[in-house]
Amino acid sequence: VQLSQRKLEGYLKLAQIIQWGRKSPVKFCERFFGIEFLDAQKYAFMNTWLKPYNLWCITRNGGKSTLSAPFIMTKGVLFNGHNSYILSNVSAQSQDTFMKIEKIAKKEINSFTGLTDFFMGELIKTAANTDGFTHAQSGFNYKLYNGSSVTSLSGDINNNRGKRSSLNIYDESGWTEEEYVVATTPFLLQNATFRMGGDIDVDTFP
């Protein structure tokens, strides 16, 4: 397929924005989502961005869910096929964090006065799913056009096995049972980008 010069320039600009956002995710949030953070929130966000394991120890009413929501949103927008799971012992807890994302997208968080419509434009919408957010009993979910998704899961271990994840968020992890973490950590061990066969050179493919 031959692309026009205008479309090629558009793809180049998109790639530049994505690369800039990956290097400066807090600024990306501020620019595209319209979210402004306190200095302590910026510190937590940036120190979590590239590390494989993180624990946020934040005081009551310190904005844990309000900070984790834009973190999840940013990962999903900036990395294609980025699947996140919000996990908790009880479904109501994980659903509450999911709803923070939905409220930010719909500009329903009073403390964020400059929110934009950007994220709503990235959501896949259908006739049965008019705003992009689904609220099934098995888990709340949304999908983006770049292949990323977010799902909330309940604490039933038997229903939470064999999934693939790019990011596990354990809401209220201090109350999460060890058995639950052991059962869900393997979500992160499967690499969805693995390839073999055909013309692929496995020595050079990342």
Regarding beta strands 83-87 and 134-136, do their DSSP bridges make them parallel or antiparallel, or are they unpaired?
A: unpaired
Output the pLDDT for position 63: 81
Farthest CA pair distance, the chain: 55
Alpha-carbon gap, residue 116 to 113, rounded angstroms: 9
Chain-centre distance for alpha carbon 195:
24
Q: What integer pLDDT is reported at residue 152 of this predicted model? A: 92
Q: Which residues pair with 151 in a beta bridge?
A: 85, 141
Mean pLDDT by 10 residues, the chain (206 residues): 88 95 97 94 95 89 87 96 89 90 94 93 90 90 96 73 83 82 77 69 70
Residue 79 is predicted with a pLDDT of 96
In this predicted structure, what is the pLDDT of residue 159? 64
Q: Are 57 and 143 in contact (CB under 8 A)?
A: no
HEC string for the chain: CCCCHHHHHHHHHHHHHHHHHHHCHHHHHHHHHCCCCCHHHHHHHHHHHCCCCCCCCCCCCCCHHHHHHHHHHHHHHHCCCCEEEEECCCHHHHHHHHHHHHHHHCCCCCCCCCCCCHHHHHECCCCCCCCCCEEECCEEEEEECCCCEEEEECCCHHHCCCCCCCEEEECCHHHCCHHHHHHHHHHHHCCCCCCCCCCCCCCCCC
- Residue 157 has what pLDDT? 67
Amino acid residing at 184: T
166 and 147 in contact (C-beta within 8 Å)?
no
Triad 50, 42, 74: Cα angle to 5°: 55
